Structure 1
Amino acid sequence: MISSQLFRFLMVGGLNTVVGYGIFAGFIWAGMPYPIAIGLATVLGIAFNFQSTGRLVFGGAPLSRIGRFVAVYGVVYLLNVGSVAALLRAGLNVYLANALVILPLALIAFLLQRRFVFEVS
């Protein structure tokens, strides 16, 4: 059974993902290289995601933890770019490649945020 915290994370993350993917797709459509598009979409979402995830999922978002939150996003960004690159080499297009890695990366982000950012045991 899925925990209520993971369920809230996925619901909040769903909204964050729709917005972030829309930004990413817009940048790709405009001709931006995918590593830059992923990076800019990530940067634009960090402040909102920190507040929404911290407050609605983990019960608080003290600014003292923003550095750790950004560090987790850095790790997720590197995993995202590496995964998309591998899927592109396998013949997928960039839109599908990034869409396929969203859920696995969301689960990794949840575990990292839970352990290293919001310190929930």
Structure 2
Amino acid sequence: MDKKFIKFLFIGALNTFFGYSMYALFLLLGFHYSAAVLFATILGVLFNFKTVGKLVFRNSNNTLIFRFITVYIVIYVLNIISLSIFKMYKIDLLLAGAIVILPLAVLSFVLNKKFVFEGKN
């Protein structure tokens, strides 16, 4: 297994805890789920850019933030679509948020590796 992917999983666990905590906090504060995801994503992107870039890919190039943000826009849209589907089937949004974490994390790794940190810059 790719060592970077293993690091990504560990760093991703920290980032996921941070992001999901923010999502849950905003939901519990009464925010609409799409706003909760938006604000959690904004905070998460800033936190994640530094941890993933430096600790996983050993790349601290701050100019890559725009590519990183593009990846997270894709992840955000897919997250909202997924949560909308769960909501349509009356599945609790806290549970739904937890269910979509793993597939979105895998997609995030692939996009960050290929498009942001290791692709042709």
- Mapped to 2, the partners of 1:119 and 1:78 lie a distance apart of 23
Deviations 1:41-72 (A, max 9, x none): 01012122111101111111201111000010
Aligned to 1:68: 67
Work out the CA distance in 1 between the residues paired with 2:56 and 2:118.
Answer: 12
**Aligned counterparts, 1:31-110, within 5 A:** 31-110=30-109
Q: Which stretch shows the higher mean deviation, 55-64 or 105-114?
A: 55-64
Structure 2, unpaired ranges of 5+: none
Q: Secondary structure at the match of 2:100?
A: helix
Deviation at 1:120, TM superposition (A): 5.0
Counterpart of 2:18 in structure 1 is 19
For residues 31 and 115 of structure 1, the distance between their equivalents in structure 2, rounded to whole angstroms, comes to: 37
Distance 1:114 1:88 in 2: 31
Deviation at 1:87, TM superposition (A): 1.2
- Normalising to structure 1: TM-score of the pair? 0.95
2:66 counterpart letter in structure 1: G
Aligned to 1:3: 2
Cα separation, 2, equivalents of 1:108 and 1:75: 10
- 2:60 aligns to what SS in structure 1? coil
Unaligned runs of 5+ in 1: none
Q: What is the count of residue pairs matched by the alignment?
A: 120
Provide the TM-score with structure 2 as the length reference. 0.95
1:34 partner amino acid: Y
